[in-house]
Structure 1
Amino acid sequence: MNSIFRNINLLKAKQDYILLSIIVLSLAFTSRNLFFSLHGDEHTYVTLANSILDGSYSINEKPSVVSPSVPIIIVFFKLFTNNLVAIYLSKLFHLALVLFGCVFWFKTFKKVKLPPTIILSLIALTLINPTSISWFAKLYPEALLFFSFSGFIYYFNSDLLSKNFAFLLFFFLLLIFTRYVFAVLGLLIFVRYIEYLKLDFKKNIVTLSVYILIAFIPVALWGFYLANVQSQGVSSISYFDRFNIENPIIYNLKCGLGLEQHYEVSRINGIPAFVSLFIPITGFRNYLLSVLLIIAFVSGYVGTLKPRVIKKILVSISLIMTGYVFAGTGFSRYWVSMLPGFLLGYYLLYKKFKLSDKLFLYIVYSISIVYILNEIRISLLLFTSRL
């Protein structure tokens, strides 16, 4: 955290005070989820955590193929305290992960040569986003994905040192054990591996190959478990059932593109849901606005590929979005782990019009005010309904 404040002149820059105030408010709004009871998939993760402590990984005595990261976090805290406190601490831990993720994004944006105040504005706009506030302090994967993806991006753009490759593998493992679709980033692991070998083949070939072998062991064991459970058809909840249909690739591709509603969900998701990441209307879908927003952030990157970190962020995001499309999914919360990358694209597009950073900050303030007013409204509704 100190690295952030060393790069921001808090005593002289009025805009920094405003941005820090937005961040504090966003954390206050997000923290309200610490005090609310569990709902939806949170019950699933707690049930899985309890089953781990009982020596299995199951729901209703049926083996589960749900990604294990969130249940493991809950298990860790349940080892030291009772169930209620463990749930509270798990939520708090998720929120802490988001803050560490912001540190990684801050350091990555420094590599892009952005002014510190602009970096802070992108972080503030990320945290005050309604989707961030709704999900970052819940027992859902979003906080862990935000942290893991930010760490992956940072080390993907770090110096070619063996320890950095080890950290890159660590964050890659966190990602795929939190949401399987992030396995597509394995392509970038391979690209990075080749870069290391080109730098110094004799020095890196053995060390990095050992790292990859160590990382592959838990992936192989978990993959064997998933294949075994799926082959027996005994899973309680399975994300892979979406492929047990006629023409699964075409069907899921249509659903991922938003051309058809997936049978597992209550509304169209995929590309049309992208706009709901920015507009705080529950269930809002709009194909045209979503496509325009995607084109806008990609346009910011295209033609602005120096330094190379910009190209690498775009490639990483594009791989994940493509993975979601082929998986036939994409809720608004699915996009939030990549939100700083989207916002960077919009800023880069903005700068192509040679507009001032001061005006950009005013735009950030205006959007933040709308979000803040909406969160005040939601907070009042939530707390009054529980009185």
Structure 2
Amino acid sequence: MATAQFLALSSSSSASAAARPRARRAAPSRVCAAGSALASGEPARRLAAEFDPAIPLASAVTPPSGWYTDPEFLRLELDRVFLRGWQAVGHIGQVKNPNDFFTGSLGNVQFVICRDANGKLQAFHNVCRHHASLLACGSGQKTCFQCPYHGWTYGLDGTLLKATRISGIKNFNKNVFCDNYLDGGYHVPYAHGALASGLQLQSYETLTYERVSVQRCESALAEQEDIDRLGTKATYAFVYPNFMINRYGPWMDTNLAVPLDATRCKVVFDYFLDESLLDDQDFIDRSLKDSEQVQIEDIALCEGVQRGLESPAYGVGRYAPSVEMAMHHFHCLLHANLSG
């Protein structure tokens, strides 16, 4: 039987540092990965101890049902079993050609496996070091990985190549939906192409008050129809801790982010328009369609960020000082409430 090469990969503590593969000879061909440890609780360890391997098979009983149903036990199993040994995650044929890549996860470890332009296999955490967004989904071919959130760009070895608008940072870092709203339009050109085309993003300005922040941007639309629909300026107001008001000319919508648990929330959308347009169904339909498109794009971003935040590769992020003032203001208000 012909032998085939497989790759053993270990996780790095840095989201952008590629794990260094070590080639061995074996059969069949697989790609394997190990991640860093997850926290586990004492109840799960007690549950593990309920099974006694010293009892002879003829007298032994199977593990308790909690081994198969308890979330804490699963976390312990991921920590002690899956993330401390080599695990199969794919096969060499998935990255047969230069620039091929695929993504996957093991517990809360999100990863990218790829073959660089020189034919070398690479692997790294699929998490942007900026605000924890996932860098890539699925599989395909790429010459680099650009974060869909704010455009940070990484090489096929996981090295950070470009961090947009990040000059002037200082060394200092929950609400994912609110953070997304408060980044000063930073993500708009990367995530909302249609919306970006109607705004003069260079005119974006942010004002912060005691418990409110206001972001404003001039319209870039030339056609009178679109000016009538979207107005000459977009205004986004955030009322701490979870209420957002978005105004485009005669159209306004609000977002209320209601927490459900640590990883889920409900966002309630309400829509308002000038009384003179209540019978203009075409205007209403177009405005709802545009709004829904932005929400779909934001939901995808926020879900990716949530998965990234749960990765052991991500700890804290950095602010882009020229645009993320409202986000920093929000975090300072949270800190004051939580530590006071």
TM norm structure 2: 0.23
Write 1 or 2 for the structure with the bigger share of helix: 1
Higher relative contact order (CA 8 A, sep 6+): 1
TM norm structure 1: 0.21
